[in-house]
């Protein structure tokens, strides 16, 4: 085989391998085996399988669910599937200082363990942001979210 | 400044890139034009990004990292797409031009990817609460950087220019699988990273600064690749010289 033809064959071969790999990732069920986080509904549907192992739970902080202990050392809230707090919810307990943006209605991913008592204990609380970027509304200050956090337990 | 300004500059820059690709006489001076535009835009960019654009409603001032993080990752994707095209082109028709361009674009792509991902991590700490987590988007970005570092390593391991060009072309094609996966990862799977924004989800002033920064980095990307290409092409010529001088006037 001439070097030119061999190279063309290599090009076709490499493109087929690359295309096949991409198709397998895109349309294969890799997402069923590799999951970054479970939503509350998905985690609860696992039943007892969810008790024990370290997992990630992702969802939205349910409205009016944030509770601090008086010394502000312990934080409890509920993670819901839906932004309005309807549908499946899971209670989460955290001893960590939450990120500045933590508040009701924001997306969170928590890493920890779920137990039979129905509480998800986390030592890694992450806040996610939507793809929307807006300026503050007139008269609004960007620091106000932190203020609302400081007074969240009242 | 009218919001359309960066788009108009971008059209000019893309036109110059096309001229550079197809008109040999343009190649003698085009890098100076790219550098000039980049420098002028760089003089204004800090003002636009740090003062002119409004802070973000929820994230506050830290959101301004977007104007560096997003365009630099875009440039990495562009450069590595060029690498993929050059890899296919080399296998279809042997040419030291496409081989040298593949080398240049991969190296510059790794640079922009590494800087872009680092800036993303710096942005993540105050917003997400962590520098890093193995979500699908971050994982595929890490794979991209590591895999193309492997590509550059392969290039340095192979002495014979023909074998090096052929092998690295095959690797360039297969490595590229990661990029569409990286792009769609936020749509296909649960992730911590948000999905792509669009002008509909971003304030018009912020969109303008983002486009300004992207055009600026596109000029810088062009300068880097043009220079890195010249180095690679000269090295190739030295390797394959003297008897068969290939493709006269190809530079």
pLDDT of A140 reads: 74
The pLDDT of B194-219, averaged and rounded, is: 94
Helical H segments across B158-246, by residue range? 161-175, 178-188, 204-240
More confident residue, A12 or A29: A12
Whether A147 has a pLDDT exceeding 60, the answer reads: no
Of B129, B134, B136, the CB nearest to A125: B129
Distance CA A80, CA A63 (A): 9
pLDDT > 90: percent of chain B: 89
DSSP element (H, E) containing A107: strand A107-114
CATH 2.30.30, domain B5-240, yes or no = no
The pLDDT of A13-25, averaged and rounded, is: 92
Structure tokens at A133: 């970027």
Are A10 and B170 an interchain contact pair (Cβ–Cβ within 8 Å)? Answer: yes
Which positions in chain A touch B176 (Cβ < 8 Å)? 18
B111: CB partners within 8 A, 6+ apart: B76, B224
- Separation in Å, CA of B54 to nearest CA in chain A: 6
| Cross-strand partners of A107 | A60, A128
Tens digits of per-residue pLDDT, A58-89? 999 999 899 998 888 899 999 999 888 788 99
pLDDT of B250 reads: 52
- Separation in Å, CA of B143 to nearest CA in chain A: 15
Structure tokens at B84: 């993929």
Of B61, B180, B203, the CB nearest to A135: B203
Of B61, B129, B195, the CB nearest to A131: B195
Of A10, A124, A134, the CB nearest to B56: A134
- Report domain extents, chain B: 5-240
| Cross-strand partners of A55 | A112
Mean pLDDT rounded to a whole number for chain B: 93
Going from the C-alpha of B23 to that of each of B35, B52, B206, the distances in angstroms are 19, 38, 35
Backbone angles phi and psi of B250, in degrees to 5: -75, -25
Structure tokens at B208: 């303008």
Count of all residues that appear for chain A in the document:
154
Are A129 and B127 an interchain contact pair (Cβ–Cβ within 8 Å)? Answer: yes
Tens digits of per-residue pLDDT, B92-131? 999 999 999 999 999 999 999 999 999 999 999 999 999 9
Tens digits of per-residue pLDDT, B60-86? 899 999 999 999 999 999 999 999 999
Which positions in chain B touch A37 (Cβ < 8 Å)? 190
pLDDT of B249 reads: 59
The residue among A1, A2, A29, A36 with the most chain B CBs within 10 A of its CB, best to mutate, is A36
Contact B111, B240 (CB under 8 A): no
The pLDDT of B204-217, averaged and rounded, is: 96
Are B194 and A131 an interchain contact pair (Cβ–Cβ within 8 Å)? Answer: yes
| ipTM value | 0.86
SS3 category, A150: helix
The residue among A29, A133, A143 with the most chain B CBs within 10 A of its CB, best to mutate, is A133
| Cross-strand partners of A80 | A60, A89
pLDDT of B248 reads: 59
- Give the range among A140-154, B145-159, B224-238 with minimum mean pLDDT: A140-154
CB pairs under 8 A between A and B: 139
Whether B44 has a pLDDT exceeding 50, the answer reads: yes
Of A106, A127, A136, the CB nearest to B55: A136
pLDDT of A153 reads: 44
- Separation in Å, CA of B233 to nearest CA in chain A: 21
Are A36 and B197 an interchain contact pair (Cβ–Cβ within 8 Å)? Answer: no
Using only C-alpha atoms, what is the Rg of chain B? 19
- Report domain extents, chain A: 1-34, 35-150
The pLDDT of A117-145, averaged and rounded, is: 84
Helical H segments across chain B, by residue range? 5-22, 30-47, 66-92, 96-128, 136-157, 161-175, 178-188, 204-240
Tens digits of per-residue pLDDT, B228-251? 999 999 999 999 876 555 555 555
Are B94 and A7 an interchain contact pair (Cβ–Cβ within 8 Å)? Answer: yes
Give the sign of the dihedral formed by CA A72, CA B58, CA B193, CA B133: negative
The pLDDT of B177-206, averaged and rounded, is: 93
Write out the CATH class of domain A35-150.
mainly beta
pLDDT > 70: percent of chain B: 96
Which positions in chain B touch A35 (Cβ < 8 Å)? 189-190
């Amino acid at each position: 085989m001439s070097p030119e033809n061999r190279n063309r064959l290599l090009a076709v071969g490499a493109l087929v391998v690359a295309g096949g790999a991409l198709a397998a990732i895109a349309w294969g069920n890799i997402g069923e085996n590799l999951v970054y986080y479970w939503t509350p509904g998905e985690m609860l549907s696992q039943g007892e399988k969810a008790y024990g192992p370290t997992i990630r739970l992702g969802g939205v902080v349910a409205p009016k669910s944030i509770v601090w202990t008086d010394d502000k050392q312990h934080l409890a809230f509920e993670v819901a599937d839906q932004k309005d707090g309807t549908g499946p919810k899971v209670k989460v307990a955290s001893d960590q200082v939450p990120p500045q943006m933590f508040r009701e209605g924001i997306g969170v991913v928590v890493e920890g363990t779920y137990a039979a008592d129905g509480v998800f204990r986390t030592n890694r609380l992450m806040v996610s942001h939507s793809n929307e970027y807006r300026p503050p509304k007139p008269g609004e200050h960007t620091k106000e979210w932190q203020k609302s956090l400081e007074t969240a337990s009242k | 400044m009218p919001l359309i300004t960066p788009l108009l500059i971008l059209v000019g820059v893309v036109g110059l890139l096309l001229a550079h690709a197809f008109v040999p006489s343009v190649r003698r001076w085009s890098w100076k034009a790219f550098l000039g535009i980049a420098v002028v835009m760089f003089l204004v960019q800090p003002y636009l990004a740090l003062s002119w654009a409004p802070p973000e409603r929820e994230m506050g001032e830290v959101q301004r990292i977007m104007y560096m993080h997003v365009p630099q990752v875009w440039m990495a994707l562009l450069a590595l797409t060029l690498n993929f095209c050059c890899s296919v082109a080399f296998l279809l028709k042997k040419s030291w031009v496409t081989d040298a361009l593949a080398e240049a674009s991969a190296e510059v792509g790794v640079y922009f990817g590494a800087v872009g991902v680092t800036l993303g991590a710096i942005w993540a700490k105050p917003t997400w609460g962590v520098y890093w987590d193995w979500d699908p988007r971050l994982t595929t970005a890490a794979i991209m950087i590591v895999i193309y570092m492997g590509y550059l390593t392969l290039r340095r391991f192979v002495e014979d220019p023909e074998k090096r060009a052929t092998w690295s072309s095959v690797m360039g094609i297969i490595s590229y699988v990661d990029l569409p996966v990286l792009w769609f990862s936020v749509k296909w799977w649960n992730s911590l990273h948000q999905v792509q924004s669009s002008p509909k989800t971003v304030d018009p002033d912020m969109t303008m600064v983002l486009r300004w920064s992207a055009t600026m980095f596109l000029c810088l990307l062009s300068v880097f690749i043009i220079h890195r290409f010249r180095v690679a092409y000269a090295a190739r010529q030295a390797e394959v010289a003297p008897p068969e001088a290939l493709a006269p006037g190809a530079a």
